[in-house]
Amino acid sequence: GQQVMQIPQYQHVQEGEDFTTYCNSSTTLSNIQWYKQRPGGHPVFLIQLVKSGEVKKQKRLTFQFGEAKKNSSLHITATQTTDVGTYFCAGHVNSGGSNYKLTFGKGTLLTVNP
């Protein structure tokens, strides 16, 4: 079945360093979404990418969708302690007609040392 792989599983950085997490799908995605989950919290939607090669920015966060719509990345510039959490990518795969399955990667847990 369709799988969404995400690396790395864990990343520990010093405050001020950059961070990147990568997402790769075994099949072409209709779109990709990124979520952040703080410890003890629920996934919170960050952004959705739809177009091939799309790049979106939210302040220090940059999201990219690959040309083949099979991979994506999230880059955080100059991390802060408030960036701590698990970042998930999630891909929508059309499973026939108007049926879609939203599959999550296993997430990257980011910890930031002040």
Partner 1 sequence: DSGVTQTPKHLITATGQRVTLRCSPRSGDLSVYWYQQSLDQGLQFLIQYYNGEERAKGNILERFSAQQFPDLHSELNLSSLELGDSALYFCASSSRPGQLAFFGQGTRLTVV
Among 5, 15, 26, 30, binds partner 1 (CB under 8 A): 30
Is 104 a residue that touches partner 1 (CB under 8 A)? yes
Q: Tell the smallest beta-carbon distance from residue 9 to partner 1 (Å).
A: 10
Q: Tell the smallest beta-carbon distance from residue 56 to partner 1 (Å).
A: 13
Instruction: In whole angstroms, give the CA distance from residue 11 to residue 25.
Output: 21
In the beta sheet, which residues pair with residue 13?
112
Is 94 a residue that touches partner 1 (CB under 8 A)? yes
Is 87 a residue that touches partner 1 (CB under 8 A)? no
Q: Tell the smallest beta-carbon distance from residue 99 to partner 1 (Å).
A: 5
The answer for residues whose C-beta is within 8 angstroms of residue 42's C-beta and 6 or more apart is none
Backbone angles phi and psi of 105, in degrees to 5: -75, 170
Among 11, 21, 25, 31, binds partner 1 (CB under 8 A): 31
Instruction: In whole angstroms, give the CA distance from residue 97 to residue 108.
Output: 32
Q: Which of 114, 113, 110, 112 is nearest to 46 (CA)?
A: 110
Closest to partner 1 by CB, 13 or 46: 46
Q: Could you tell me the two tokens for 86?
A: 């698990």
Binding site for partner 1 (CB under 8 A): 30-31, 33, 35, 41-45, 48, 88, 90, 92, 94-95, 98-107
